[in-house]
Structures are given as C-alpha cells and as structure tokens.
Amino acid sequence: MLGIDPARLEVAAVVLGALVLGLVFRARRLHLLELLLAVTIVLGGAYYFVYERPLVQDLKQGLDLRGGTRLVLEAVPTEEAPVTEERLEASVGVIRERVDRLGVAEPVIYRVPNKDRIVVELAAVSREEALQIVKIAYLTFKDAEGNVIITGDDLVKAQEQLTPAGEAYIHLELSAEAKRRFAEATTRVYTGQSASRQIFIFLDEDLVQAPVVQAPNIEDPIIQGYESLREARRIATILNIGAIPVNLQVTEVREISASLGQESLERSKTAALIGVAAVVLFMFVFYRGAGMIANFALIIYGLLVIGALVLLDAVLTLPGVAGLVLGVGIAVDANVIIYERIKDHLRSGRTLRAAVESGFRSAMRTVVDSNVTTLIASAVLFHFGTGPVRGFAVTLGVSILASMVTAVVFSQYILRLVISSRLVRKASVLFGEREANLSATR
C-alpha cells in the first residue's frame, strides 16, 4: 500500500506544500489568505475523495443493498460428529473453500463468538445455491464402475509429506477395517478386473483426483506425483476436511434479490441526498454565516465518517444508511449548542470575538457530556447486536465521534479565521439574528 506511486507522491507534495503555506500565513497573520487556503484544501480534498479516488467505492455494502443470501448455521452435536473448536474451525475452512471455488465476490464467513454458530453472507448468490454450499459433502473413493471403496468416514487422516529425495506425497491413514477393503480393491483394480486402473476420489459429485494404482494389495496407501508440498497439502486438506465435520443446521436464511438490493440502494441515495439538503438548508436559514460554516464542516464530517468506515472494514447496511443520515442531522447539534452559547454571550453584551471564544469554551463540556452518553448506547449496541444492528452501531458511533471532532475543532477554527480576517464584522451576518436582538440589553 505504501509503494512509491507517483500519483500518491503528487498528493503528498500538494498536502505538504499547503501545510507550509498555511504556517507561513499563520505566522504573518494573513488571516484572509489562511481562510482561503483552508477552504481550498477542504474543497480539494472533497473533490479528490469523490471524483479522483472515490471513498464510497471502498465501502462494503451489505446484502440488503446489493442482494444475496445470508445463512446462519448452528452446529448440532451428534454421535459421530461432536462439536469441537477444531471441527468448527475446519467447517468454516471447508465452506470458505467451496465458496472460493464458486468465485463469489467478497464472501463474509465468520463464527459467532462464544456460540457454535457460523454466519455465511454471499452477495449475488441465490438461496438454493447458498444452501447447496453448506450442505454436508461426502468424500468417496470409487472404482471405474462406481463401486464405493471407502468413504470419508474411513479416512482417519490425510497427511502431506516429503520423501528424502524431496518429492511430495500424501499418506492416507485408514481405519483398520477400511485397510482390508482398500487392499482388496487395489488388487482388483491393479489386476485389470476394472475398466481403469485409476481410483476416483469424489467430493459429492466433484472429482477431486484420480490417481493410478501402481501395485496390488495396498493396505497403507500413499498418493505421489505432486509438484510441490504445497499442492500436496492443498489436496490433503480437501481430503481431510472435504466433508464439513460437524452437523450444521440452518437456523436463519435471508435472501434479498439483486433487484430489491439495487432499488434499496437507489432509494437510500435519494433519501440521503434530500435529508442532507434539508439539514443544510435549515442551518443556513437559521444561522446564516455560521450555519454555512457548520455546513462546510459537514464535508469534513462526511469524509471522516466514510473514511473511518472504510478503515474499520465496516459493512454499510440499510439501517446503517439511515443511521448516517440521522447522524448528519445530529452532527450539526454540536454546532447548534456552540452557536446558541455564542449568541447568549453576544446578547449579554460581549464583542463578537470574545463571545465566540467564551461560547466555545463553555459549550465544550455540554457537547462532550451529551455525546458520551450517546456513545455509551452505541457501544452497548455494538457489543450485543448482530448483523445489520451491529453495522448500525458502528455507523452511529463513528458519526458521533466525527461530528464532535468537526464541530469542536474544525468549525471553531474556521469561525475564528472568518472573524480575525475581518471578512465578517457583524454578528448578525454570522448568526442570522437581527442586530437588535443580539444587543437588546445594551
């Protein structure tokens, strides 16, 4: 990721240059230039992450937004297949192997912590296909006529090994009773009583391999002729865990057609756009100049939230989108609290600059206290939620943090610059109330 990419270097150079320029402006007290620079950086960043290297594309979408199937499987212990940690791990491995063979994009397969449960989420896979994948598979060794010689139950273990000469092979450890059957079969196949001298190894209907029998009466077989130990290990793994080693019962199936997912995605986009536009409009109408600063800070907020979600590898679900949009509505809250404080202080007769300073300071504690309580709720939700609820908790938590950061750090910075650059001198322009209202007690 950190390879020397010229495009990346270019970006780094631009960012560095802007920072240096900013420091120079700051030292020289060229507030207006500093403000212009800050605005340019934010707009440039937004352009970069929307058009040049769209962040949204890196965001994983949940099944409800792109269609697919979600399965929840519960391992139920039986006589032959007790549920153990290794067997569950192995089961996840088998399912992953099968999914990979199908070529599903971005499959999500995980175990539910502290539960004998496996969740499989496959995009653009129908319910039938998904159920097929998690079906218990049978490993069988057959002759050319289709007679079953041994099954997966007879195979104690398949182990890849190296000869002293460095040739890879697989040793098949068979149960005592299976050894006899295997010896008989190899004799039969070797002596030409079968149509072919091969033994066919199947996983359900899929042929895994068809090695040629080299001698009669083999009790303790090996399969040789692999190019590398790695290849031998791959085949040994399939032989070992080809069958899902636990009895899995399907406890939850959810299928969302691709068309519904597409529709949900489109609708979410529209709804999000309208929701954000409404908030932006409200903030402008109510707070004028300062409202526009809050709206401007929303750009940073959006980039932060989406960036954090990408980094956290979070999956965007339908309730998650609702959470994000609600997050925008709540994100301006910190700004509202701060602006109301500033207005209070203006009303009590302070100068614009003094009111902004003291307003920010006294609003700070309120902002932190009120947001920490909401964070507690989202942390609990994350810890105890499952699936889409969990996704929602992540988006809620991330958006609270991001809104605090943007309101407290960024809006404050811009607002100070606007005032110290003398771009705006009237409190009424910034806070949208008639001057009369702001200085009523004077």
Q: Is the CB of 64 or the CB of 154 nearer to another protein?
A: 64
Nearest to 236 by CA among 161, 154, 174: 161
**Long-range pairs, 154-162, Cβ under 8 A, ≥24:** 154/178, 154/181, 155/239, 155/240, 157/240, 158/235, 158/236, 158/239, 158/240, 159/236, 160/226, 160/229, 160/232, 160/233, 160/235, 160/236, 161/232, 162/229
Does position 437 interact with another protein (CB under 8 A)? The reply is: yes
Q: Which of residues 49-88 bind another protein (CB under 8 A)?
A: 64, 72, 74
Q: First vs last Cα of the chain: how many Å apart?
A: 60
Close Cβ partners of 344 (under 8 Å, ≥ 6 residues apart): 359
What is the greatest pairwise CA distance in the chain? 113
- Distant-in-sequence, close-in-space partners of 172: CB < 8 Å, separation ≥ 6: 155, 157, 158, 220, 221, 222, 223, 239
- 25-44: which residues touch another protein (CB under 8 A)? none
Q: Indicate which single residue of 213, 309, 414, 438 sits in contact with another protein (rule: CB under 8 A).
A: 438
Closest by alpha carbon to 397, among 336, 309, 302?
A: 309
What's the min distance (Å) between Cβ of 271 and another protein?
4
Residue of 274, 315, 410 lying closest to 58 (CA atoms): 315
**How far is 83 from 86, CA to CA, in rounded Å?**
8
Tokens 């810890």 belong to residue: 383
Cβ contact 172:222 at 8 Å: yes
Q: CA 194 to CA 263: how far, in whole Å?
A: 57
Contact flags string 326-355 toward another protein, x per CB under 8 A: x-xxx-xx--xx--x---x--xxxxxxxx-
Which of 249, 312, 313, 409 binds another protein (CB under 8 A)? It is 249
What's the min distance (Å) between Cβ of 381 and another protein? 5
Sign of the alpha-carbon torsion through 258, 262, 263, 268: positive
Q: How far is the CB of 95 from another protein (least distance, A)?
A: 19
Q: How far apart are CA 85 and CA 99, in angstroms?
A: 21
Q: How far apart are CA 427 and CA 442, in angstroms?
A: 14
Distances in whole angstroms, Cα of residue 432 to Cα of each of 149, 282, 289, 330: 86, 12, 7, 20
Binding span for another protein by CB under 8 A among 99-107, 197-205, 238-246, 428-436: 428-436
Residue 125 touching another protein (CB under 8 A): no
Query: Which region, judged by CB under 8 A, interacts with another protein, from 7-15, 194-202, 377-385, 407-415?
Result: 377-385
284 binds another protein (CB under 8 A): no
User: What minimum distance in Å lies between the beta carbon of 63 and another protein?
Assistant: 10
- Using the minimum distance from each CB to another protein, give the nearer residue, 152 or 323: 323
Stretch that binds another protein, among 178-186, 223-231, 325-333, 404-412 (CB under 8 A): 325-333
423 binds another protein (CB under 8 A): no
CB of 383 to another protein, least distance (A): 8
Helix axes 318-347, 352-384, angle to 10 degrees: 150
Which range, of 142-150, 180-188, 207-215, 367-375, touches another protein by CB under 8 A?
A: 367-375
Contact string 201-240 vs another protein (x = CB under 8 A): ----------------------------------------
Interface with another protein (CB under 8 A), residue total: 95
23 near another protein (CB under 8 A): no
In three-state secondary structure terms, 96 is helix
Candidates 201, 141, 152; CA nearest to 175 is 152
The distance of closest approach from Cβ of residue 56 to another protein in the complex, given in angstroms and rounded to an integer, is: 18
- The answer to whether residue 248 forms part of the interface with another protein (CB under 8 A) is no
43 vs 372, beta carbon nearer another protein? 372
CB of 116 to another protein, least distance (A): 12
Which lies closer to another protein via its Cβ, residue 223 or residue 337?
A: 337
Shortest spacing between CB 203 and another protein, in angstroms: 23
In angstroms, what is the minimal distance from the CB of 417 to another protein? 12
Residue 85 or 369 having the CB closest to another protein: 369
| Least distance to another protein, CB of residue 146, Å | 29
